[in-house]
Amino acid sequence: MNALDEIFNAHNGRLVSQLGEQFGLDERQVRDAIGSLAPALSRGVQTNVEVRGEESLLNALRNGNHARYLDDLSALADGEAAREGEGILGHLFGSKEVSRQVAARAASSTGISDSILKKMLPVIASMMMGMLGKKLLGGGSSAPSRSGIDFSRVGAGSRPSSGGLTDMLTDFIDADNDGSVMDDLFNMARRFL
């Protein structure tokens, strides 16, 4: 199961319902929104790792307690997820303009208002960091990734093997678990054409 499926199935689907209520969307729209925003977030994390190094991401995951946004549904609606997500987006994209462009592209592919997606993007960023934290540092209900990283050592200060974080990011959007995201991005785009 990839990370998107884990988010969609979290709390027996109640996480998707919570986001739907919070942003006035139905279940399909929430799934489409997350599916269209996740690739840009994943690329942002990957670029950030390439520029700042793996240890920078691991430190952010260790210090952020982002998993609470996946574990406690009420944490999504209290405003903290959005505030924290704004900071995450600042690190990933560098400017609010890039966040606006990501929301606009997602709006054109999903038909969901870009104003809703702009509000949703920081919450999804917090959730994504929570999922990465669970996978890289352990804890929660997420199973270890199939990337081959020794997760029991990552939380103790060791670094993942080369390519480990890239594998994690690929897992985030690899819907058919074939190790490639290109076909998934193509299929995602084709759904909206």
* pLDDT exceeds 70 at position 87: yes
Instruction: State the pTM of this model.
Output: 0.75
Given a contact cutoff of 8 angstroms between Cβ atoms, the answer to whether 33 and 106 are in contact is yes
b (16+ CB within 10 A) / e for 126-149: bbbbbbbbbbbbeebebeebebeb
* pLDDT exceeds 70 at position 156: no
Select, from the ranges 4-8, 100-104, 188-192, the one with the highest average predicted confidence (pLDDT): 100-104
- Computed on alpha carbons and rounded to an integer, the radius of gyration of the chain in Å comes to 15
* pLDDT exceeds 90 at position 120: yes
168-187 confidence digits (pLDDT tens): 666 655 555 565 555 554 45
* pLDDT exceeds 60 at position 191: no
pLDDT band at 103 (very low <50, low <70, confident <90, very high): very high
Domain count of the chain?
1
Which pLDDT does position 106 carry in this prediction?
Answer: 93
Which pLDDT does position 51 carry in this prediction?
Answer: 87
Given a contact cutoff of 8 angstroms between Cβ atoms, the answer to whether 89 and 125 are in contact is yes
Q: How far apart are CA 118 and CA 98, in angstroms?
A: 11
Query: What does the pLDDT average to over 105-127?
Result: 94
| Tokens 């920081």 found at | 122
Residue-number span of the structural domain to which 36 is assigned: 3-191
